[in-house]
A and B are shown apart, each in its own frame.
Chain A
């Protein structure tokens, strides 16, 4: 007849230790949420150190206000960074900072998820940081920019032209300068960027840029 053996305390402790080791080993194995909205929020944690948790940006590190930006545009720009068609110019310091962050998104689904999360963030409008002649800027804007970006700067997804109303003036001015200098929009695969370069040259000097910014500051997102 089989003898009924009791487990010794040492064996019990050994068993508990093994379970604990296994538990600790798999504790960090979470693969992230499968829900797209939750996944986007999780991924945005990598963006928050520069763009802030509410997506309102941080001019100190050149991170723009992206809160409420349309998903199609965020997605397109992230894909450009990932492909190296943006953020690969020697003088594009902010672009080069952004590129590895975009590359860290493992899949197209992740790009889509984080872009949708960005769009879901409530829009934030900051006070103007640049001064200029808004009236002159109004004329210039409707002469040059409105045909693609919309009469009220609301953007046009069909032309892949992003919303400008409500976007920080310092950021738009910086990008215009980069387009003018060929720092952005110089890659042959960046079709929209290449289209923007000649447009940016229409704003011939710093005053013209500031005037358009002063006008855009009067628009609401």
Chain B
């Protein structure tokens, strides 16, 4: 349902969507019902000539059940929400599947920069590729990310992956995602981080394995940087070859 409005491009996007839908349906049902009952009672028992408004304390038994019955039902609904919420939390935030690749994400006022392994597939080696504003990943590969902040609190959000994780200065926070749809998706900061917060955007480019391999070779070898770019769209104002270390 939510996919009509925002693409679902990671393996866990749908489980988040289903949870949202469940919460929206249950909370929405009680909201509408409560408002309908409230307004119906207000209209039904409004002041009329010869019938003064009555002060109700809610202590009488027949009135008290208007509180207790919905209360119990709402608590039951809470349990219906909490159980799948804990399962989704566990699957996304706590149980991390083994990584096929690891990337490092740096947040700073007001840019995202990334360090990814070069053709050797290992971080912290000579051929690492460092980029600003663009993260290149392979479709159907499990990525672990090590998230750091260079200054203040930020939040690393890729709405199409349904991913959001705060970045705290002084801490390295590990998370994961597995993109399952080729395309270019927005990265946004979702934690107010200063004057340029609204402009702190980036892009994640999910490529096929071949395109990603070509991108890796081009960016790990400066002499090949002038060759035509991979089919993945590259923003006009982002020059990846220059963003390399």
Chain A residues, Cβ within 8 Å of B200:
100
Q: In this complex, which of B108, B131, B237 has the most chain A Cβ atoms within 10 angstroms of its Cβ?
A: B237
| B196 x A93 contact (CB < 8 A) | no
Q: What is the interface of chain B mostly: helix, strand, loop, or mixed?
A: loop
Tell me the residues in window 114-141 of chain B with beta carbons closer than 8 Å to chain A beta carbons: 115, 130-133
* Min distance, Cβ B228 to any Cβ of chain A, angstroms: 15
Is residue A178 contacting chain B, with contact meaning CB distance below 8 A?
no
Is B31 interfacial (CB 8 A cutoff)?
A: no
Question: Once the chains bind, are A88 and B238 in contact (CB under 8 Å)?
Answer: yes
Tell me the bound Cα distance from A84 to B237 in angstroms.
5
- Chain B: minimal CB distance from A80 (Å): 11
Q: Is B199 an interface residue (CB 8 A)?
A: yes
Q: Smallest distance from the beta carbon of A190 to chain B beta carbons, Å?
A: 9
Contact A96 B242 (CB under 8 A): no
Residue A49 at the chain B interface, CB threshold 8 Å: yes
Nearest chain B residue, comparing its CB with the CB of A185: B242
Counting chain A CB atoms within 10 Å of each CB, the highest count among B110, B111, B150, B200 belongs to B111
Chain B residues contacting A186 (CB-CB under 8 Å) are: 242
B172 close to A (CB within 8 Å):
no
Chain B residues near A149 (CB-CB < 8 A):
none
Q: How far does the Cβ of B127 sit from chain A's closest Cβ, in whole Å?
A: 14
Interface status of B11 (Cβ within 8 A of chain A): no
Closest beta carbon of chain B to A92's beta carbon, Å: 8
Instruction: Say if the beta carbon of B109 comes within 8 Å of chain A.
Output: yes
Whether a CB of chain B sits under 8 angstroms from the CB of A201 is no
Q: Does A120 contact B (CB under 8 A)?
A: no
Size of the chain B interface, CB-CB below 8 angstroms = 22
Q: How far is the CA of A97 from the CA of B194 in the complex (A)?
A: 11
Given the complex, which residues of A lie within 8 Å of B110, measured CB to CB? 96-97, 99-100
Does B23 have its Cβ within 8 Å of any Cβ on chain A? no
- Given known contacts A93-B108, A96-B113, A100-B111, is B196 in contact with A88 (CB within 8 Å)? no
**CB distance A187 to B239 under 8 Å?**
yes
CB nearest neighbor in A for B114: A90
CA distance A83 to B242 in the complex (A): 13
Q: Which residues of A contact B133 (CB under 8 A)?
A: 88
Complex formed: what's the CA distance from A103 to B111 in Å?
12
B65 at the interface (CB under 8 A from A): no
Per a CB cutoff under 8 Å, which of A82, A100, A104, A188 touches B242? A188
Please indicate the chain B residues that have their CB under 8 angstroms from the CB of A104 in the complex.
Answer: 196, 199
What is the chain A residue whose CB lies nearest that of B226?
A: A188
Complex Cα gap A25–B111 (Å): 34
The chain B residue sitting closest to A100, CB to CB, is B199
8 A Cβ contacts from B220-245 to A: 237-239, 242-245
Residues of B within 8 A of A189 (CB): 239
- Which residues of chain A in 14-65 are interfacial with respect to chain B, using CB atoms and an 8 Å cutoff? 46, 49-50
Bound-complex Cα distance A97 to B242 (A): 17
- Could you tell me the distance in whole angstroms from the C-beta of A159 to the nearest C-beta in chain B? 23
CB contacts (< 8 Å) of B150 on chain A: these are 93
Cross-chain contact B195 with A49 (CB below 8 angstroms): yes
| B237 and A96 form a contact (CB under 8 A) | no
Instruction: Using CB atoms, name the residue of chain B closest to A61.
Output: B109
Contact check, B237 vs A82: say whether CB atoms are below 8 A apart: yes
Chain A residues, CB < 8 A from B199: 100-101, 103-104
- Tell me if A125 counts as interface (CB < 8 A to partner B): no
Alpha-carbon distance between A99 and B200 when the two chains are bound, in angstroms = 10
Cα-based distance from A91 to B108 in the complex (angstroms): 11
Extra contacts, 10 of them, besides A85-B242, A99-B111 (Cβ < 8 A), are A83-B237, A84-B239, A90-B113, A96-B110, A97-B108, A97-B109, A99-B110, A100-B196, A100-B199, A101-B195
Chain A interface (Cβ < 8 Å from any Cβ of B): 46, 49-50, 82-85, 88-91, 93, 96-97, 99-101, 103-104, 186-189
Sampled A-B contacts (19; CB under 8 Å): A50-B195, A84-B238, A85-B242, A88-B132, A88-B133, A88-B238, A89-B132, A90-B132, A90-B244, A90-B245, A91-B130, A93-B150, A96-B108, A96-B111, A96-B113, A96-B132, A97-B108, A101-B199, A189-B239
Query: Which 7 residue pairs of A and B lie closest in terms of their CB atoms, listed nearest first?
Result: A100-B199, A90-B130, A84-B237, A96-B111, A100-B196, A187-B242, A100-B110
